[in-house]
Structure formats: C-alpha cells, structure tokens
A and B are shown apart, each in its own frame.
Chain A
Amino acid sequence: MKIRITRDFFVLPLLALATFAGCIALAEGFARVVVQEDLLDTCWDKDSYKPNCVSRMKIAEGPAVTMRYNECGSRSDASCAPPPPGEFRIVTLGSSVSSGYGVPLEEMYSSVAAKQLSARCNRSVGFQHVTMGWQGSSAQDVAQTAQAPAEKALGLKPNLLLVILTSWDLYKYAETEGAQVAVQTAAPPAPSGGLRDSAIFQLGQSLMAYLREQRETSRFVLMVRGLLYRNEEYFLDGYLANAEESGYMRAPLAASWEQRLAMFETTMTAIQEKASAAGVPIAIAYSPADGQVLAGRRSGRKDLDPTQLSGRFAEIAARHGWAFIDPLPRFIDAPPRLQLFYRVNGHPSAAGDALLGASIADTVAATPTLGCQS
C-alpha cells in the first residue's frame, strides 16, 4: 500500500466519512426492517385514555397488542357502569403497568387475578383501571395531582382501590422540580467558567445531547440492546450503572429515595382520605423492576438489597392500615427461563403480569378486610 500525499489526503478522509455515514444508515435501515416497534398508543390523550377507543401498539420484544378501552377509558371489555349486585369490583390506580402496557388483555394481570379471585371468592370479580402519574413539583403537588384520578376511581364504585406502583414511577419523580433538590445533594453542580463556557465545549455538549436523543429513538440501538441484554449479567450491570434509578437497592437509602418515599406516603394519605370517606379499602401492589429481580437472584451481590424498597412500602402500608402486595419473591423464584419483562422496554411481559396477577389474587383473597370473601 502506497499513500500518495496529493490526492489521498483528501480522498481517503472523505471515503472514511462516507463509510461512517453509510455504516450508520445501513445499520439503522436494516434494524428498521428487522425490528418492528410502535410504542405510540393512539388512544392516549394528555393524561388519560380516550373512551371507547381501540388502538394497536407493539413493543419490539413483544407481540402486537390491540388496546381496547371502554366508555370510561379503562382497559377492559366490561362496561364501567356500576357493577351488578354481588360483583366484586377492583379499580386500579397507576401508570402504564396498571393498564397492562404491551400485554394482551386476556393475559393482563387483571384478567389473571379476576379469574383466580372469582374462583376463590365464589363471586364475579371485575377490574377497571384509572391512570395516575406520580408527577408534581413537590410531595404536596403530587398528592394534589392524584386527587382527580382518585376521585374518578372512586366514582366507579369499587369494592377495593388497588394502587399499582413501580420503582420507575418514583424514579421518574426525580425529573420533576421537587426531586431536583434531592438529586443535587448527591451530585454537586458542575463548575462553570473556563473551558466549559467555550464554544467548542458547548458544541460538544449539544452534539452529545443530540446523540443521546437519537440513541433513544434509533431502532439499531434498540436491536443491539436487545441482543446484549439477553445476557442478564450485562443488563444488570447497566441497570446498576444508573445509580439513581437503581439506588433503591442500596442501603441505606439515599436522601433522594427517602424523599420519593415521603412523596409516596403523602400522596397515598391524601388518596386514603377520599377512599375512607367512600368506605373503600386500599391495597398497594408493588410491581418489581427487571434489574431488581435479577439482583434478587444473585446471592453474591452483598452490596445490594433488592427487597429494601418493598420492605419500606410494607412498613408504610402497615402504618396506615393498607394491604400490601409484594410479588417480588414470586418473581425472584420464577424459572429463570421465563421472560418476565420486555427487557429493553422495561415493562412486564405477559409472564410477569401473570405473576403480578397471582400475587394480587393471593393477597386479596387472603385478607378478610379487603372484602372479597364476604
């Protein structure tokens, strides 16, 4: 190989640039053909689902799912009209997991739980779902935001109000203004001035931000993540690398997670006031995270306590007299071959929903104060 200074110094770098662009385009194009994903649920409208709406969506790792919403915007084939006498109605409050995101209706946790509870309580059991996000600029703000969904849920005349909660719900709260305070205590702000104010640095920052944005929408990234995350170890390492998101497994809990728990308790107390007035008992089901389940299966990780968060939820629930449903042990003990989550996407799969549904059925059937057996 002989390099000619005159032409090669222009041609070869240009060729390299063209190759780089070509590789990216080819990889992305290939991934778009191979990996089908449509996360947009067209029935979603601002903060709830449209009534009497049908949509189709698909998580890359899961099947295409038809999402049917009844006249109240609840993911159910049954009407949300007051239940017939004798039916035990459970109304859930929660985010995407509580609406069975990406899981066919017949395999959703509510379908599993309804079937099991009907058999054990000897009565018809039905579910309705109301969407509630854990968002606000402070604990009081979140509690305030939760008022409307709680009222809507209680308006459906439930026998039991079931709050479905994930660590992600609380983690996302960190993105709101309220939790910024706590996060900042862990990571001091970057110093300004000097190089950081230079145009090149700013350009670099913008470029990195652009790349991060593309990373979230690229189908190729999705495909390779799916490939890599088949290795549980690798996925867990990645999950733990986000110290804030997975921080609930490290003892003692960081201040930001304590703040999230305080927000949770404040919000739940506000919901309880309304539920008590309506004479409806409250149960809380904690849907675990994939990384948490994997950490629970690895006894070698002495630095992690995957049960810490659910333990704290249980304490709070006991203090207020709420029933607490903890499917985490069931998830941990499940055969490792079962894919309990859409790993890249993060939501539980049908297999995960089945475990969640079974746990709900077990606790509701076994807790007399919840009223299913009466």
Chain B
Amino acid sequence: MSVPSLLFLAFSLAAAVAYNLPFGRIWRSLILLAANVAFLASFAPSPVSLLPFAGFLLFGYVAVRTLQAKRTGALMWLLVAATLFVFLWLKRYPVAPAELFLNYPYLTIGLSYVFFRVMHLVIDAGQGQLTTSLPWLSYTNFTLNFLSLVSGPIQRYEDYTEQQDRKTSGINALTLVKVAERVTLGVFKVFVVSMLLLDQHKLAVAALGYDLSAAESIGITLQIVLLYPLYLYANFSGYCDVVIALGRLFRLELPENFNRPFSSENFINFWSRWHITLSGWLKTYVYSPLMMALMPSVRSGAAVDALIGAFAFFVTFFLVGAWHGTTTEFLFFGLLQGGGVAVNKLYQVFMAARLGKKGYRALSNNAFYSAVCRGLTFVWFGFTMLWFWGDWATIASLGLAIGWVGGLLAFAIALILMTAILALYVALMKFIDVGAAGGWKHSRVMLATAQLTAIWAFAVIFSTPAPEIVYKAF
C-alpha cells in the first residue's frame, strides 16, 4: 500500500472511524493492532516473508523486558549490541558471512524505523529511564504503528503511551478541518511538487549523456545539484504532513520531522531542522553518550573541547548518512554529512575565538552574512546529495561534463542564486507566519482548494502515478 495514495487514505479513515467508536482503550488498541498488521501485510508477498520481521520484534520485546527485570550495565550493552547485530544482519550489512544471511525474500520495509524504536526502548530500559510498563500490545502498536512504519517520524514510547491514555480524542470539527488541510498539503507536495521536481531532475541527469556545451553543462549541473534537495524535501515532508495529520485521528501527536530546513544558516542548524526525529535520536543515543565518554574529567582547554565536540558531531552525522545503506556512495554521503557539521563546528569555535562571542553574534545577525550562509548551507547539502541519489558512474560523468573551472563557476552561480532565492523565501515565510497567526481562514480554504485542484488534475487528467516515498527504501 503506497503512502500517500487514495487507498492509504481510505484505509486510514476506515481505521480511524473504527478506532474512535466508544468502546474503550482495549478496543482502540486492538483496532490499531489490526490496522498495523494489515498495513504491514500489504507489503508482504507471503506470510513467511513476515517471519524475520516478527522475530526482530520479539527479540526486541524480550530484550526490553529482560532489562526491565534485571538492569545491569553489561547486560544492557550486550543486548544493545545484539539488537544492532540482528538489525544489520536482517538488512544484509556485511556483519556476517554471506552464507549466514537468510536466503529467501523477506520483508524489511520500515525495519530501520522499527529498529530506532526498539533500540530506544532497549537503551532506556537498560538505563532505567523506561518508567512505564510495556504490555506487548502497546509495544507492538508502538513499534509497528502503520502511520510511521514506512519512513517515520520516530516517536518516543512515553509520548506514545501518554497520548493513547488520554481520556478524550480531542477530535472536533476544527481538528477535522486541520487534518484535511494538512493531508491535502502533504499529498500536493508528494503528488504534484515532488513529481515535477523529480521529472526535471531526471531530465537533467539524462542530459549528461549528451554532448553538452560549457554553458549547458553548467545549467545541467545547477539543476542536478539544486533540484534534488527540493524534491526530497517535498517528497519526505509531504509524506510526514499526511501521516502526522492522520495521526490526530488516532490520538497521536507524531513529532514534526521538518522545520523549514532551507532557512538554516549553517549546517548544524540544518540538521536540527531536517529529518529532525532521526538526527534527534542519534544526538540522544550517539552524540551525547560519545561526548560524555570523550570529555576529560579535568579541564583541558577550549581547543581540545572543540576538537572533541567536532569529532562527536562527525561520528553522529556520519551515521546519519551511512545509515541509509550499505553502498560506498552512502558511506561517502555520511563522510560529507559528518565532515560538514564538524567543519561547521570548528568554524564556529574559531570565529568566536577570533571575533569574540559578541562579535561573532553580531556577524551572524548580519542580514547579508546570514543570507550567504543560508545559500552556502543549501548548496553544500545539494552537493552531498549527489552521493545520496547517484552512483559513482553518474557523479563521474557529471564531473567530466563540467570540469574544474565549470564546477567552480557552477558553485558560484548556485551560491548567488540560492542566496537570493532563500532570502526571498525567508521573507515570505515571515509574512505568512504573521498572516497565519491572524487566522487567514478564507485564504487557507482557497489555498487548500487550489492544491486539491492540482492533485485532481495530476491524478485524474494526467493519470500520474504518485512518486514513491524516497525514505521507504531505507
């Protein structure tokens, strides 16, 4: 079942109607379980293909309950390592000889996001931070939640149970309108915006096979580098809009995954606005423990602290990138993410030392400096994305097509272009924020209708198939 599709929306609405019948908490949990299992099963070619998935869930449950019953540091690390190993083994990372992998087709869709939830429970249970009970029904519904199974967002268990325990659904006419408005926005982003951007991006990549002039090479490079982040944003955030909105019908307040990432003025800030729940998870379970472990107990000077901070950032965001897959392209993508935030951190420390904290703050508040930094952040992210969607051969053909001089020129043009565009974007967002705070009821209805019209046109008139959600592959 594709998310978002008409079938998925109909499925979710039918489940929401059943879920909200006044039969109490157990009923709601059972409906949610049925919906979760049905959704997962819709991807399974056979019941047997679900067994490894079920085994992983069972393993996680046993690990968490064991740690709740007997909490020791050694046991926690053993179970953390074992959970990680089982996940990597199921995802066929090279952690074991190839002969030891299961040699039949089994379901792994959403396994990464299930892993994040299970690992969060294992670590929290091991550290004694999982204070609530963990009935199997809650565990299964939390880990398998059909709204966030495919690509997140990654919710925390305590938030999930607190929301499910609420006495009232909080659903009224206004909630329904807001749900409809956000679902429309999400489907519009995926169905129309991301489709058009992907189309143009594919055309640009295909043009690499042509005999291009220098000016054409630069134009093509700009499209390839700049369009993909916009496409990915429209695709992924559109998906999140849909599932977060639908979550409201199931007493769920799924965490936001995006917060206007392209308004970020540096790469560290960017990663606190892009795929927020993943970077937040890694900050909690990788960055913070790593910092704690690396920081010397006695003061060692600002330079050492800065290096440790940069190193911890590097490791964390290397994992953000490398998590996407087993290929060398993803590893390099991870290196560029980790390298980007580490250099960003060192730059901040260096500038603060050179200009003083006040001076650096004043510089950061300078409108022109901010705009250029915003442009640079976007262009860097777009550049790193080459290793996210492309393979080495495509990247090499791009490099050959444009050359060093063309590449530098393309970079300069991209920086100027994105600096100007994003400055306008930020100004527009401020204007919209002011208007939205005042209500803007009529314009919101008009905007949602216009989006619906575009969706209708693409779906019905052009018979456009909805693009796949990119993160479904991970």
Contacts and interface: CB of A to CB of B under 8 A. Distances in A.
B462 A221 contact: yes
Interface stretch (B203-211, B262-270, B316-324): B203-211
A3 B462 contact: no
Contact of A2 (B174, B209, B444, B449): B174
A190 interface: no
A170 to B, nearest CB: 24
Interface residues of B, number: 33
B462 A230 contact: no
A contact patch SS: helix
Contacts of B446: 15-16, 19
A19 B452 CA distance: 10
Interface residues of A, number: 33
Contact of A8 (B441, B452, B464): B441
Contact of B173 (A3, A11, A24, A237): A3
Contacts of B366: none
A224 B199 CA distance: 12
A337 B210 contact: yes
A241 B464 CA distance: 11
Interface in B418-474: 439-442, 444-446, 448-450, 452-454, 457, 460-465
B70 interface: no
Given A1-B439, A3-B174, A19 B449 contact: yes
Interface string B145-176: 00000000000000000000000000001100
Given A23-B453, A225-B462, A232-B206, A16 B199 contact: no
A224 B460 CA distance: 13
Interface in B278-318: none
B463 A19 contact: no
Contacts of A238: 463
Contact of A228 (B177, B199, B442): B199
Contacts of A30: none
Nearest to A212: B461
Contacts of A11: 442
Contact of A211 (B439, B460, B463): B460
A20 interface: yes
Contacts of A228: 199, 462, 464
Contacts of B445: 12, 15-16, 19
Contact of A1 (B209, B211, B440, B463): B440
A215 B440 CA distance: 34
B25 interface: no
Nearest to A224: B462
B448 to A, nearest CB: 8
Interface string A21-59: 001100100000000000000000000000000000000
A244 to B, nearest CB: 15
Given A15-B445, A20-B453, A337-B210, A215 B461 contact: yes
A225 B289 CA distance: 53
A279 interface: no
B202 interface: yes
Nearest to A230: B203
A221 B453 contact: no
Closest 6 A-B residue pairs measured CB to CB?
Answer: A19-B449, A16-B449, A23-B453, A19-B446, A337-B210, A231-B199
22 contacts: A1-B439, A3-B174, A3-B441, A5-B173, A12-B441, A16-B448, A19-B450, A23-B453, A24-B453, A27-B457, A211-B460, A221-B461, A224-B457, A227-B199, A228-B199, A228-B464, A230-B199, A231-B199, A231-B202, A238-B463, A337-B210, A337-B211
Interface of A: 1-3, 5, 8, 11-12, 15-16, 19-20, 23-24, 27, 211, 215, 218, 221, 224-225, 227-228, 230-234, 237-238, 241, 335-337
Interface of B: 173-174, 177-178, 196, 199, 202-203, 206-207, 209-211, 439-442, 444-446, 448-450, 452-454, 457, 460-465
Given A12-B442, A230-B199, 18 more contacts: A1-B178, A1-B440, A1-B444, A2-B439, A15-B445, A15-B446, A16-B445, A16-B449, A19-B445, A19-B449, A23-B450, A218-B461, A221-B461, A224-B461, A227-B199, A228-B462, A231-B199, A238-B463
